[in-house]
Amino acid sequence: MLSALRTKGWETARVSAASKTWPLEFLVRLVTFDPSVVIIQKIAPPSWYCKIIAQSGRTLVFECDDAIQIGYGSDRLEAPKMRTRLGNLLRKCDRIIVSNSVLAVDFAELCGQQAIVFPGPAPAKFAAPQGRGRVVLWLGSPSTLNNVRSIVYPVFESLMDDAKLIVVGAEAESSFGAVTEHVWSHERQTIALMQARVGIAPQATDEWSRRKAFYKVLEYLAASVVPVVPDQPAVHALLGAEEAELAVIAEDDTPAAWSAAINRALTIEVNEHWIMMRDRVFDRWSADRLAQLVVADSARDSGATDMGAT
């Protein structure tokens, strides 16, 4: 998004909340860079920070793509504190951008403001090789690996013939039967995307999953990999009217449903029509369009500062 803003003539600066000194760095940026727009991602800074931004006349934008921001995944004592803190932040924001409609409802309940649903931005597309085999790919991390192990591994043990499953995001390198597990790296992910015909995003049916961003679906589409996805709000928002032509929806979270969905996806031809549908989705969720939403109605007298966790 920052590169899209620079293309539009905006100067940008970034402060990472992964740094222990980010509060000081952020205050220094406010003074020395003097941004007209401040974008907050993935964290909820102290309310007095947001008060400073709001009172200075700067546009404050909050972008959220994960339910952890509103306490999902936290303990019962911590979650209410997180919601209170987030609500204080949201009430000072000029714009709120979320990845799906369920999060939009959550945020409206917290602050009374309508959020913009934007499940992107779409990554860069790259040319895919012809003649891919019956290779299925899962991208993720060790924290979500159980979803694919519990729902999809049984498919490759007993329900499918001659297909192979590549997992990128495991705790260690491993291979057994039709399954190969890899530790995540950018290089390994790129190689796997070039090999796969189908990309899967299994998710348990719970409140946390209903609020997931499913960004990996965009990564599959970028590599001309056919997604198999659960019936979740974020998926429908992301794929839109092109959903039926681009992807296959698993009816539920059972191995039998995922076996049927994966086998169907393996028969889908990635042709010119499929590419056209994919490009429509990517145009709708482009970094350029997100940049337009972020700086809408903001004066271009200085620049934009992005503050977020990495």
Angle between helices 47-55 and 78-90 (to 10 degrees): 0
In a domain, residue 94? The reply is yes
Q: Domain check: are 108 and 139 in the same one?
A: no
Selection from 292, 31, 33, 58 nearest residue 50 by Cα:
58
Residue found under tokens 């899209």:
4
| pLDDT, mean of residues 253-259 | 92
Token pair, residue 119, equals 């499940």
The predicted-structure confidence for 6-15, as pLDDT tens digits, reads as follows 888 888 888 8
One-letter identity of residue 85: R
Beta bridge partner(s), residue 41: 63, 308
Q: Domain check: are 297 and 176 in the same one?
A: no
The CATH number covering residue 115 comes to: 3.40.50.2000
The predicted-structure confidence for 86-115, as pLDDT tens digits, reads as follows 888 888 888 999 988 888 998 898 888 899
Residue 270 has pLDDT above 50, yes or no: yes
- What's the rounded Cα separation, in Å, for the pair 228 and 199? 6
For residue 267, name the pLDDT band (cuts at 50, 70, 90): very high
Selected residue with higher pLDDT from 271 and 160: 271
pLDDT value for 205: 77
Give the residue numbers spanning the domain of 270.
135-284
Distances (CA, A) of 145 to 169, 201, 209: 7, 11, 14
For residue 75, name the pLDDT band (cuts at 50, 70, 90): low
Average pLDDT value for the chain = 86
* Beta strand residue intervals within the chain, DSSP E: 11-16, 37-41, 59-64, 95-98, 116-117, 135-139, 164-168, 174-176, 179-182, 198-200, 226-229, 248-249, 303-308
pLDDT value for 309: 45
In a domain, residue 126? The reply is no
Selected residue with higher pLDDT from 78 and 103: 103
The predicted-structure confidence for 29-50, as pLDDT tens digits, reads as follows 888 888 889 888 877 777 777 7
Residue 238 has pLDDT above 90, yes or no: yes
pTM of the model: 0.88
Token pair, residue 166, equals 């590549």
Q: Domain check: are 143 and 275 in the same one?
A: yes
Maximum C-alpha span of the chain: 63
- What's the rounded Cα separation, in Å, for the pair 282 and 239? 9
For residue 74, name the pLDDT band (cuts at 50, 70, 90): low
Q: Domain check: are 217 and 263 in the same one?
A: yes
In a domain, residue 166? The reply is yes
SS3 (DSSP) at 120: coil
Q: Domain check: are 55 and 139 in the same one?
A: no
Residue 71 has pLDDT above 80, yes or no: no
Q: Domain check: are 38 and 168 in the same one?
A: no
Counting residues of the chain whose pLDDT is more than 90, the rounded percentage is 46
In a domain, residue 68? The reply is yes
Judging by beta carbons within 10 Å of its beta carbon (0-12, 13-18, 19+), is residue 141 exposed, middle or buried?
A: exposed
Selection from 92, 87, 88, 89 nearest residue 108 by Cα:
87
Q: Domain check: are 28 and 115 in the same one?
A: yes
- What's the rounded Cα separation, in Å, for the pair 256 and 262? 10
Q: Domain check: are 270 and 295 in the same one?
A: no
Token pair, residue 176, equals 């057994």
User: Within its chain, how far is the Cα of 235 from the centroid?
Assistant: 11
Q: Domain check: are 276 and 143 in the same one?
A: yes
Q: Domain check: are 279 and 295 in the same one?
A: no
Selection from 231, 226, 267, 233 nearest residue 251 by Cα:
231
What DSSP line would sit under 191-218, residue for residue?
A: HHHHH-SEEE----SSTTGGG---HHHH
For residue 297, name the pLDDT band (cuts at 50, 70, 90): low
In a domain, residue 130? The reply is no
Q: Domain check: are 178 and 71 in the same one?
A: no
| pLDDT, mean of residues 10-29 | 85
The count of domains in the chain is 2
Selected residue with higher pLDDT from 306 and 275: 275
Selection from 56, 39, 48, 35 nearest residue 93 by Cα:
39
In a domain, residue 207? The reply is yes
Q: Domain check: are 160 and 278 in the same one?
A: yes
Non-local CB neighbours of 8 within 8 Å, separated by 6+ positions: 288, 291, 295
The predicted-structure confidence for 129-142, as pLDDT tens digits, reads as follows 778 889 999 999 99
In a domain, residue 124? The reply is no
SS3 (DSSP) at 182: strand
Question: 293, 2 in Cβ contact below 8 A?
Answer: no
pLDDT value for 310: 38
Residue 167 has pLDDT above 90, yes or no: yes
In a domain, residue 160? The reply is yes
